Every structure is written in structure tokens, then in C-alpha cells.
Amino acid sequence: METKALKDRNYLFHSIPNADWERLLPHIEPVDLPLGKVLYEPGTKMSHVYFPSTAIVSLLYALENGSSAEIAVVGNEGAVGISIFMGGESTTSRAVVQSAGKGYRIKSSLILAEFNQSGPIMHLLLRYTQALITQMSQTAVCNRHHTLDQQFCRWLLLSLDRLTSNELIMTQELIANMLGVRREGVTEAALKVQAAGLIQYARGHITILDRAGLEHRTCECYQVVKTEYQRLLPEKMAV
């Protein structure tokens, strides 16, 4: 595979020093990430760490009654499976592909060995983890204190930042599951945003018409998360 092209498909790949990159390259496996694919379930041992390139993965917390809510999204800026190098082989959340695309994976044992060398890869992964924790924390605050309209706009912007186009393929039912709300609430929020001329929604396709308008309409949570990612992962940052 083309080394430079591959490095540019994921921010963490791009930021790995060349010497470490050459060591990792033979172990990087391309994978298809279709919509709805579950990368891991709560409590299960993670065999690989995933690095999305064109796909987006949702980290969800599922309750005993079957309902769920999204706690973070991961795209070409990051990795799925941070528990591997944070002291555990499993997590309480589940990881599900919310936007189909491509990605790469590396065996967990290899990532852990690289992390334990305490070199540049470890510092890069720790900075990314801090940014991801900020997203999780801000999502919890947003879900508690802001309107569904604002949450919907925040979710759209976070997803848009991780795509190469201004279109998302996403049903209202799936969005409701991500936000942990009723489908009727998402329908109402989507109609309001569409009436404002910010999006066009039809049959599971959402087209962003006015990004600046979305940013103005959402709460401060989106900018807090974006600023923290740019602070911790500044070079070539996608979001």
C-alpha cells in the first residue's frame, strides 16, 4: 500500500514519526466498516484497535432495558479501542459503525507493546484519549442542559467534521438511538432545522446546506470539543 497516502487517511497515522511508522506498517490491515457493524460489545476482549478513515464509529452506552445513548463519535481523527492501552482489555460501552466507510486495524497486542515503550506513540495516544474524554464529558453536559434542537445540531456538526462530504446517510430512528431520545423528538428537531434552511432531509439522507448556520444554532458544547481536539492534536487536525 502507498505509505504516504495511508498516513494521510487517519490523523493518528499521520502523526506517527517515520521510524515508528515503518515498524507498524506491515501490521496495518485494511477493513470495510459497513453501517451497523459492531466492533466490540461491553465486557468483551478487544482483539484489535480500529483507525477509521472514511467511516464514523459511535461509542454507545446500552441500558438493561435495551435503550442506548451515544457518548462519543470517532472518525478519521482517532482510534476505537483506547481501553487496550489504558489498563483494561474491555469497556462498558459498545462501538457501532454509524456511517459506513473504510478503516484500518492493528492487533491489540501490538498497540499495547508500542504504548509500553513510552515513546512518541504513547504520548500521541494519551493526547488523543484526553481529547476523547473531553468529548464524552461535554456530551453528558449537553444531554442534561441543552435542548434537543441544539443537541441535534451538535451531533450533525461532529459527524460532518469526520466526513469528506456534506451529506450523511442516517435514519431518524438511528439518530434517536444515538441521542437517547424518542424518534418523534428527532423528527421535530430535524423539521425545525430544515425549516431554517440549514439542512435538507429526505429518506435517511441529510444534506448540510448552511454549516455556519448550524454552528450558530448549536450550543457551546460543539466548540468546546473542537477547540480541545485542536489544542491536543493540532497538526493536520481534521476536526
- The widest CA-to-CA distance across the chain, in whole angstroms, is 54
Flag whether pLDDT at 111 surpasses 60.
yes
Asked whether residue 42 falls in the same domain as residue 108, the answer is yes
134 in a domain, yes or no?
yes
CATH code for position 134: 2.60.120.10
Give the pLDDT band (50/70/90) at residue 237.
Answer: very low
Is 238 within the bounds of a domain? Answer: no
Residue 231 has pLDDT above 70, yes or no: yes
| CA 200 centroid distance within chain | 23
Confidence of residue 133 (pLDDT cuts 50, 70, 90): very high
> 8 and 126: one domain?
yes
**Could you tell me if 85 and 171 lie in one domain?**
no
Number of structural domains (the chain) is: 2
pLDDT of residue 2: 62
With a cut of 90, say whether residue 114 has pLDDT above it: yes
In a domain, 224, yes or no: no
Task: State the pLDDT at residue 32.
Answer: 97
**Are residues 157 and 119 part of one domain?**
no
Is residue 229 included in any domain, yes or no?
A: no
- Going by C-alpha positions, the residue among 8, 6, 10, 32 that lies closest to residue 102 is 32
Average pLDDT over the chain reads 89
Q: 130 and 202, same structural domain?
A: no
Q: Given 116, 142, 168, which residue is the final one in a domain?
A: 142
Does residue 236 carry a pLDDT above 60? no
Express each pLDDT in 156-193 by its tens digit: 999 999 988 888 887 777 787 777 778 788 888 888 99
Are 9 and 101 members of one domain? yes
State whether 56 and 135 are in the same domain.
yes
Q: Which of 1-5, 47-51, 169-173, 174-178 has the lowest mean pLDDT?
A: 1-5
Question: What local confidence, expressed as pLDDT, does residue 238 receive?
Answer: 42
Q: What percent of the chain has pLDDT over 90?
A: 61
Residue 230 within any structural domain of the chain: no
Tell me, what CATH number does 203's domain have? Answer: 1.10.10.10
pLDDT at 203 over 80: no
- Say yes or no: 47 and 102 in one domain: yes
Question: What is the pTM assigned to this prediction?
Answer: 0.89
231, part of any domain:
no
- Specify if 185 maps to a domain: yes
Task: Please tell me the predicted confidence (pLDDT) of residue 239.
Answer: 44
Instruction: Answer whether residue 211 is part of any domain.
Output: yes
pLDDT > 70 fraction of the chain, expressed in percent and rounded: 96
Same domain, 37 and 54: yes
Q: Which domain holds residue 91?
A: 3-142
| 120 and 197 share one domain | no
